[in-house]
């Protein structure tokens, strides 16, 4: 055999070995993060089960059942019917600090502060808020911490964390791009001891309403007010925990929205029903339907509506 033939065979063997090594490396690399993440979640489930058994004696925790989470929230964060106004706290958040050059809507945030000088304005980055919430719940309702870790995108974490923050301390949350027209103390509920305030985002009485909103009559969650530990937020948090664990079990931990072109809807969860206004609306309806003797408060719908003042139908006292 000539030297050139030997050299060619050697090169082919080296090429084959190299390709084999590359394939093995790619297989390891692409599966490593998923396997590691799965192991972390499984380890947390073991800790969760151990925590439930040793601390409450109620058996194993079941994060797939929202009643489990709801009961634990009620135990550690009991709701007291309001005897005073909703706490004067305004929460907003963004992915960057306010000093960051790419921070948007600075003028709108400043407007919230200057028009409400007797309110505590509390801004957090998403990262800092999420870390705080994980620490808060890991020893009381640990499945909430786990759900926060499992949520795959920032928008889901942002939705979930706003509910958790207001649930803990009470107050109001507003998206960074909300424009405040009037001081909060001039709002209808400001001199009343109410528990929860939410606005109607849309009320479409048309056949193709689903082209525009998730629900025909839909509540918005880019602004809301609440007393601490309110049952609406308690049920909402529990529902999101259940949906997140269910998505993990069914291998659907990916968000879907109607504008997403590269996501299989059958293998994902709709953002609006996961943490957005869809589930927010459903939980409010469920709560209202559970009230035995709701108080109907009549708002004068014939009053002046100058300067875009709010008018609307009767409201329920929550």
The pLDDT, as a whole number, for residue 256 is 83
Provide the angle, in degrees to the nearest 10, between the axes of the packed helices 126-137 and 154-169: 60
Query: Nearest-CA neighbor of 237 among 318, 168, 180?
Result: 168
The pLDDT, as a whole number, for residue 191 is 82
Non-local CB neighbours of 130 within 8 Å, separated by 6+ positions: 148, 157, 161
From the first residue on, what is the mean pLDDT of each consecutive set of 10 residues in the chain (318 residues)? 50 46 39 49 60 48 77 94 90 94 94 97 96 94 94 95 98 95 89 89 85 87 96 97 92 82 79 94 94 74 49 40
The pLDDT, as a whole number, for residue 4 is 52
The pLDDT, as a whole number, for residue 47 is 58
The pLDDT, as a whole number, for residue 24 is 37
d(C-alpha 93, C-alpha 98), whole Å: 9
* CA distances, 298 to each of 187, 242, 262, 315, 316 (Å): 15, 37, 48, 7, 9
Sole residue written with tokens 């957005």: 276
The pLDDT, as a whole number, for residue 258 is 74
Domains of the chain as residue ranges with CATH: 36-317 (3.90.550)
d(C-alpha 44, C-alpha 145), whole Å: 10
- How many CB atoms are located within 10 Å of the residue 222 CB? 16
What is the token pair recorded at 59?
């058996």
The pLDDT, as a whole number, for residue 39 is 57
| Confidence (pTM) | 0.77
The pLDDT, as a whole number, for residue 32 is 41
Sole residue written with tokens 């997403």: 260
Q: What is the DSSP string of the chain?
A: --HHHHHHHHHHHHHHHHHHHHHHHHHHHHHHHHHHHHHHHHHHHHHHHHHHHHHT-S-S--TTSHHHHHHHHHHHS-----SSPPPSEEEEEESS-TTSTT---HHHHHHHHHT-TTSEEEEEEHHHHHHHHHHHHTTTSHHHHHHHHH--SHHHHHHHHHHHHHHHH-EEEE-TTPPP-S-GGGSGGGGS--SEEEEEEEE--STTGGGT-SSSEEEEEEEEEE-TT-HHHHHHHHHHHHHHHHHHHTT--SEE-TT-SSS-GGGSEEHHHHTSHHHHHHHHHHHHHH-SSPEEE---TTS--GGG----S-EEE-
d(C-alpha 141, C-alpha 30), whole Å: 33
The pLDDT, as a whole number, for residue 57 is 42
The pLDDT, as a whole number, for residue 166 is 98
């Amino acid at each position: 055999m000539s030297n050139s033939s030997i050299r060619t065979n050697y090169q082919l063997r080296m090429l084959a070995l190299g390709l084999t090594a590359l394939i093995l490396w790619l297989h390891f690399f692409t599966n490593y993060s998923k396997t590691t993440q799965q192991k972390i979640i499984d380890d947390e489930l073991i800790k969760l089960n151990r925590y439930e058994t040793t601390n409450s004696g109620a058996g194993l925790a079941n994060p797939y059942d929202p009643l489990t989470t709801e009961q634990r929230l009620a135990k550690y964060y009991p709701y007291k019917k309001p005897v005073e106004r909703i706490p004067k706290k305004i929460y907003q958040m963004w992915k960057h600090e306010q000093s960051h050059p790419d921070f948007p809507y600075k003028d709108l945030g400043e407007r919230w502060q200057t028009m409400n000088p007797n309110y505590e304005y509390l801004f957090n980055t998403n990262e800092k808020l999420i870390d705080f919430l994980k620490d808060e719940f890991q020893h009381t309702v640990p499945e909430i911490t786990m759900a926060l870790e499992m949520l795959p995108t920032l928008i889901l974490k942002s939705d979930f964390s706003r509910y958790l923050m207001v649930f803990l301390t009470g107050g109001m949350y507003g998206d960074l791009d909300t424009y405040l027209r009037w001081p909060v103390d001039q709002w209808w509920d400001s001199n009343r001891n109410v528990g929860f305030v939410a606005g109607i985002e849309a009320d479409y009485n048309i056949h193709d309403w689903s082209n525009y909103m998730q629900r025909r009559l839909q509540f918005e969650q880019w602004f809301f007010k609440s007393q601490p530990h309110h049952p609406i937020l308690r049920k909402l948090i529990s529902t999101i925990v259940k949906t997140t664990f269910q998505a993990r079990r069914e291998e659907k931990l990916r968000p879907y929205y109607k504008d997403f072109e590269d996501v299989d809807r059958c293998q994902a969860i709709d953002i609006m029903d996961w943490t957005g206004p869809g589930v927010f609306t459903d939980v409010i309806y469920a709560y209202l339907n559970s009230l035995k003797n709701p108080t109907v408060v009549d708002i004068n719908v014939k009053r002046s509506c100058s300067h875009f003042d709010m008018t609307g139908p009767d409201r329920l006292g929550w």
